[in-house]
């Protein structure tokens, strides 16, 4: 089973600033990685798949990069609606599909 580790657990950033979230896989997942955003009381929303492809309707301030075992989600200029929990998920070696434990992005 591929273990996904996200860092940091909590990230405090001011609105308008850039946020960088990290995701590490225990072995290579090629580019088969997705990112999700989840707000309290809501279902997750797909942001990125294929490590760097934005899903339909996702603003350009969200970008993904990386391959192999190291991945990054960057939010270029934080808006108030971006403060949420972010998860990464690998689908290269499944079953099982595995998620990271999440990074909470909070307002500084």
Partner 1 sequence: EVQLVESGGGLVQPGGSLRLSCAASGFTFSSYWMSWVRQAPGKGLEWVANIKQDGGEKYYVDSVKGRFTISRDNAKNSLYLQMNSLRAADTAVYYCARITFGGVIALEYWGQGTLVTVSS
Q: Could you list the residues that contact partner 1 (CB under 8 A)?
A: 32, 34, 36, 38, 42-46, 49-50, 55-56, 87, 89, 91, 94-102
* Residue 16 or 95 with smaller CB distance to partner 1: 95
Nearer to partner 1 among residue 36 and residue 71 (C-beta): 36
User: Nearest Cα to 83, choosing from 33, 21, 32?
Assistant: 21
CA angle, 103 as apex, 24 and 45 as ends, to 5°? Answer: 100
Nearest distance, CB of residue 48 and partner 1, angstroms: 8
């Amino acid at each position: 089973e591929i273990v996904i580790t996200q860092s940091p657990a909590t990230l405090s950033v001011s609105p308008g600033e850039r946020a960088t979230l990290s995701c590490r896989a225990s072995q290579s997942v090629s580019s088969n990685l997705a990112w999700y955003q989840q707000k309290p009381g809501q279902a997750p929303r797909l942001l990125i798949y294929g490590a760097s492809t934005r899903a339909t309707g996702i603003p350009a301030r969200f970008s993904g990069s990386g391959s192999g075992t190291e991945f990054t989600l960057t939010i270029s200029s934080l808006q108030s609606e971006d403060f949420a929990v972010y998860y990464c998920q690998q689908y290269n070696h499944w079953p099982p599909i595995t998620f990271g434990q999440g990074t909470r992005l909070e307002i500084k």
